[in-house]
Amino acid sequence: MKRSLLRTVKRIIERYGLLHRGDRVLVAVSGGVDSVVLLEVLDLLKEEYELQLFVAHYDHRLRKASLRDSLFVYQLAKKKGLPYLYGVSLVKEYARREGLSLEMAGRELRYRFFERLRRDLDLHRIALAHQADDLAEEVLLRFLRGAGRRGLAGIPVKREAHIIRPLLFVSRQEILDFARERGLSWVEDESNRDPRFVRNRVRHLLIPFLEEHFHPRVRENLKRTALILAEEEELIDEMARKALDRALVKEAKEVVLRVPILRGYPEALRRRVFWLALSRAGVSLIRVRKVHLEALENLLSGKARGPVPLPGDFRAVRGPGILRLLRSPSPVSEPFFLEIYGEGEYLLPGGKFILERGASREASVLDPERISFPLVVRSRRPGDRIFWPKVGHKRLKKFFWEQGIPPEMRDLWPLVEYQGEIVAIPGYYVHPAYQARGKEGLVLRFVPHQGVSFALQKRSG
């Protein structure tokens, strides 16, 4: 049995390119039989692939026995002479604060921990212990929840090049047989039989019922379906990545998509592009649901004006010809008003306002001979307008929209007022009557606080 399982795993590794010689691999070990066997298999293959293994255990603190499991994994790593990396958090409190289920909250925190270790320790792979029965259960579970084609592909054997599942095509029974033959010990998670969890009801009630009354090889058939879909998903995913690359505004610091290009894609491909764009922006894909993709579609078509809230502290904002995915800065509820009597740097709620004498083609420049101090630096007010040649006056709200300033930034961006009239908006606008005619003048800049960033789409003035 040992040779058979090892042969299966090696075939999976070679076929899907899961490991390369010399890889530094983080092995996620919960203490259950699946993860214990995963560690044993990779330890047996360590010399052949010249691997460096690191054992990682994440404690969700949801059960009284969680400390027992942590100590068990520690002893296992120590016995094999491998580094042991421990993470812990209060998942229940996090789930309550973020409005997530316990399962979703635990998974998000656990993956975040693994990713942080991968970056900090310069690791090449994160090995997870999902196996064939997990794959069958996941496909059935997603079908019951109404998943699309991507969801029915189940659990990928490799994701984002570094998350690998070497046991994905090995059955639970094969894993148990291997563990007993090797004399391995493991810990049992009593929550795996708790019927309050939907996954457990699928595992212990639904699948046995289907096997008894419909088809004895339900698990195998579900796995085969998932594999067929997964292979087709690789092709579709590659198409979506190329489509995303064409739609991206390359020079933008955050994820900015071109609306005309997006509109030219079929809706099904566009959903995949949205999915990949959300991932690139840093949105937790575990939280993304169909409603979020529909909201992005409505924002693109103009049915919704936005901003569209996304999982976590992200938003999607529509501008002229673009759609941006960005983190939301902390809201500022109080307006600001400041009289300034000379050059200098002034701290505002959203960043730093700078006024200095000099020359600049990139910043707004006022003619010092046409104005005098004090100047007023303030936040916007209802009904604000600016003078615009050939138009007369333009509503500030419309101007901000045309310039692509996100709604959540509009109360933070300073306006410069002189004798009751808006004469400048740093980086965007200077009143024609007060614009510097020569090379030098009073240069105005606004530098948002760190973490408050977006692409400037157009400049005027």
DSSP annotation string for 45-97: THHHHT-EEEEEEEE---STTHHHHHHHHHHHHHHHT--EEEEE--HHHHHHH
pLDDT at 390 over 80: no
For residues 275 and 288, is the Cβ–Cβ distance under 8 A? yes
Q: What is the pLDDT of residues 65-93, one digit of tens each?
A: 788 899 999 999 999 999 999 998 888 88
171 is in an annotated binding site: no
Give residue 271's Cα distance to chain centre. 16
Over residues 321-354, the pLDDT tens digits come to: 889 898 765 554 578 888 888 888 888 888 888 8
Q: Is 146 annotated as a binding residue?
A: no
Tell whether 35 is in a known binding site: yes
d(CA 430, CA 435): 6
Question: Which amino acid, 450?
Answer: Q
30 known member of a binding site: yes
Share of the chain above pLDDT 90, in %: 32
The predicted structure's pLDDT at residue 262 = 93
Amino acid in position 186: W
Is the model more confident about 389 or about 14? 14
Q: Helix axis angle, 33-44 relative to 66-80, nearest 10°?
A: 10
Across the beta sheet with 255-258, what order do the strands follow? 255-258, 322-327, 314-319, 308-310
Is-same-fold flag (2-227; 248-327)? no
The pLDDT, as a whole number, for residue 440 is: 82
> In 332-420, where do the E strands start and end?
337-340, 344-348, 351-358, 364-366, 375-378, 385-388, 392-395, 415-418
pTM attached to this predicted model = 0.60
pLDDT at 25 over 60: yes
Domain ranges of the chain: 2-227, 248-327, 337-448
* Residues 189/63, Cβ–Cβ less than 8 Å: yes
- Structure token pair of residue 63: 């059960």
Question: Cα–Cα–Cα angle for 141, 284, 246, nearest 5°?
Answer: 105
Report the CATH fold assignment for 248-327.
Answer: 3.30.465
| 122 annotated among ligand-binding-site residues | no
For range 92-105, the mean pLDDT: 80
Which pLDDT belongs to residue 148? 62
Nearest to 341 by CA among 367, 377, 373: 373
Residue 75: how many other CB atoms lie within 10 Å: 12
For CA atoms 5, 8, 11, 17, give the dihedral sign.
negative
The mean of the pLDDT values for the chain is 84
Q: Which of 159-168, 188-197, 236-245, 291-300 has the lowest mean pLDDT?
A: 188-197
User: Does residue 218 surpass a pLDDT of 90?
Assistant: no
- Please indicate whether residue 193 or residue 41 has the higher confidence score (pLDDT): 41
> What percent of the chain is modeled with pLDDT above 70?
90
Phi-psi group of 31: left, alpha or beta (phi > 0 → left; psi -120 to 50 → alpha; rest → beta): left
Residue 300's closest CA among 337, 257, 340? Answer: 257
| 337-340 vs 375-378, strand pairing mode | antiparallel
Q: What CATH number is given for 2-227 in this structure?
A: 3.40.50.620
Is 256 marked as binding a ligand?
no
**Of residues 449 and 317, more confidently modeled:** 317
pLDDT of residue 456: 40
Average pLDDT over residues 310-329: 83
> 375 in the Ramachandran plot: left (φ > 0), alpha (ψ -120 to 50) or beta?
beta
CA gap 273, 267 in Å, rounded: 10
The helix (run of H) or strand (run of E) holding residue 258 is: strand 255-258
In this prediction, residues 364-383 reach a mean pLDDT of 88
pLDDT of 145-173, one tens digit each?
666 656 656 677 887 778 999 998 888 88
Residue 298: exposed, middle, or buried by beta-carbon count in 10 A (0-12, 13-18, 19+)? middle
Please report which helix (H) or strand (E) contains residue 441, including its range.
Answer: strand 441-448
Q: Give the integer Cα–Cα distance in Å for 240 and 230.
A: 15
- Is pLDDT above 80 for 139? no
> Span 356-378, mean pLDDT?
84
Question: Which H or E element spans position 445?
Answer: strand 441-448
Pick the range with the lowest mean pLDDT from 68-72, 192-196, 222-226: 192-196
Residue at token pair 């707004």: 364
